[in-house]
Each structure stands twice: as structure tokens, then as C-alpha cells.
Structure 1
């Protein structure tokens, strides 16, 4: 038994000694950490308007809905849905140079801003329209049909990077429930 233990001890000593004499070339790198941030897209819809403004023949009512794309929002396509329940008698002064109609369903129209809203360190403000005008020849019967009607506005923004305009338009129409 002593002989076996001695042989095992010699083998163990030789194994340790042989490993200790081996040398390898090695190298390592510093750690590289990839940090990602999430894009953000923030909009607000505000309005300057006097509630319960009176409608009468020839009236022009100041009503200014404004969409603000907040600072540091990603580049985007910007949309508004205008439900003009006063139409055809209440005419909005939406500038076609600024807003392009991409879908109509009854009194609801979806407009896309005419260009991509770029990334900006500052808030970007987009006026939708500023007045609602009524013909001077409105009759009492026509005025009666406008009682209780409203103009409802909603805004929507869709990221631009990696998205075709046609796909963003479809998403906006779907969002607002308006077909082309």
C-alpha cells in the first residue's frame, strides 16, 4: 500500500511540475459597452378659440388649432384629423401649401403636413388653420342645421426614419378611422 501511495504521490508531483513549466502567451481587451437610447416622438395639440362663438351670416370666427412637435422628437410625418361638422357652411382656411388632404369620410378630413418634420432641439409649431368663415347669404334654415355642431381636431405623428410616406399615410388613416 505504501508503494502505491508513493507512486501516486510521485505522479501527482510530476503532473504539477509539468503544468507549472508550461507557459502560454495571452492577451485580453478592455470591455466595450454599447449604450442605446430609445427614440421619442412627442406632440401637443392646443387651440386659441372663444367657446360659444356666435354663428351668423358673414361671420368669421377666430379658431387657431396648433400642433407642437416637442423638442428632440424624432423626424416624423405629422397629421391632423379635422371633423368639420359645420361644413359646407363653415369654411376653414387650411392652407393647401402647408397641409395635404389624404383622406375624407363625411365631415372628417385627414391632412398631412407638406414636409417631414425634422429633429430639432426646439419645439416646432404648426398652425392648422386660423379662421372659420360663413357666407353672408346663409339662411335661417341653414343656420338652424348648424346648431350643436362642432369642429373636432386630433393630431397624430408617425416616425419618418425607415418608413415610407405611403405607409405612414395608411397608419394615420387607420388611427383616425378614415378611409381614403
Structure 2
């Protein structure tokens, strides 16, 4: 009988503990999920020119509008333009670089500017007044000489991210062909 009573008391104790335990509520909490998505930054540039007819007449100004554009949504960047002249260009043509460009020290014909990120295209003229001038002392004999080669003026644009690049010289070293 003692065993039956003890078993009954134990059974009732377990039943009461189960009922009490199931009615207790634990205080809990949790945070909302924080998701990190890493996207790719980019820089997109273009170099365009609308004028294409360059007839040399002494003293004339010729429309020439090379324009470098940093495309919308590009990262902040160092923007460069490299201007290459044929050997005899200065005998025939004069020009100036547009405001906002800075000559890169120690590198002939390379100019740079810092461009902030923007949601819009950012165009930059390369030549002051979007023009070149034919020297007034150019003669027909110079233009028809046996060894005459048409002078050329060539432009090429480069860009490198501004973040983590300390100077224009460092940036040029990253894009220098």
C-alpha cells in the first residue's frame, strides 16, 4: 500500500509540476535581421567631338570641341585627358586648355581634374573656347611643301576612382598606358 501511495503522490506531483510549468511564460526577445548587400561601384566616361572639318586657313579659328563626359552614377574620380600633338603642330596651330583642367606635373600633355559623384552626366570641354587657331604666318608654301604632313592633335581620356587614391600623380600611375 505504501508503494501505491508513494506512486500516486509522485504521479500527482509530476502532474501538478507539468500544469504549473506549462503556464509559466519565459521573457524573450529578438532583433530584426540586418542584411548587408555589397554592390559594385563603377566609373564610365566618354570622349566625343561634334566637329570634323578642319581646313587650315591662316589666321582662322576652327571649331574643335573635344568633350570628356563622366557618365551619371559614376563614382567620384580623377579624370585625365592626354593631348598628343604631331611634331609640327605648333608651326601651324595654337590652342589652350579649358579652365578647370590642371597640368599634371612632370607629364607633358596630360591634364586632370577631380570629379565628384553625380546622378547626372558631367561634361567637360577640353579646349578653351572649343576651338583652335591657325597661325597667321602659315603660308601656302608651308602647306604644299614636299615633306608636309598634315598636323594632328589627338585626345584620349582616362579615369580612376577618387576613393583611396591620394593624388593625381598616384591616380595617373594607375591608368597610365
Q: Is TM more than 0.5 here?
A: yes
Deviation at 1:135, TM superposition (A): 1.4
Deviation at 1:163, TM superposition (A): 0.5
Matches within 5 A, 1:83-122: 83-85=84-86, 87-88=89-90, 89-95=92-98, 97-102=99-104, 103-104=107-108, 109-113=109-113, 116-122=114-120
Deviation at 1:30, TM superposition (A): 5.1
TM-score, length-normalised on structure 2?
A: 0.71
The answer for unaligned runs of 5 or more in structure 1 is 1-24, 176-180
SS in 2 for 1:68: strand
Deviations 1:134-154 (A, max 9, x none): 211113443346533322111
Are residues 56 and 147 of structure 1, via their aligned partners in 2, closer, same or farther at CA, if it must alter by over 3 Å? farther
Larger radius of gyration: 2
Residue from 171, 174, 179 that aligns with 2:174? 171
How far apart, in 2, do the equivalents of 1:39 and 1:127 lie?
25
- Number of residue pairs aligned between Structure 1 and Structure 2: 146
* Other-structure match for 1:40: 42
Deviations 1:119-174 (A, max 9, x none): 111111100011111211113443346533322111111110110113013234x2
SS in 2 for 1:78: strand
Structure having the higher strand fraction is 1
Matches within 5 A, 1:1-180: 31-51=33-53, 53-85=54-86, 87-88=89-90, 89-95=92-98, 97-102=99-104, 103-104=107-108, 109-113=109-113, 116-129=114-127, 130-143=130-143, 144=145, 147-165=149-167, 166-172=169-175, 174-175=176-177
SS in 1 for 2:89: coil
| CA-atom RMSD in angstroms | 2.6
The answer for unaligned runs of 5 or more in structure 2 is 1-26
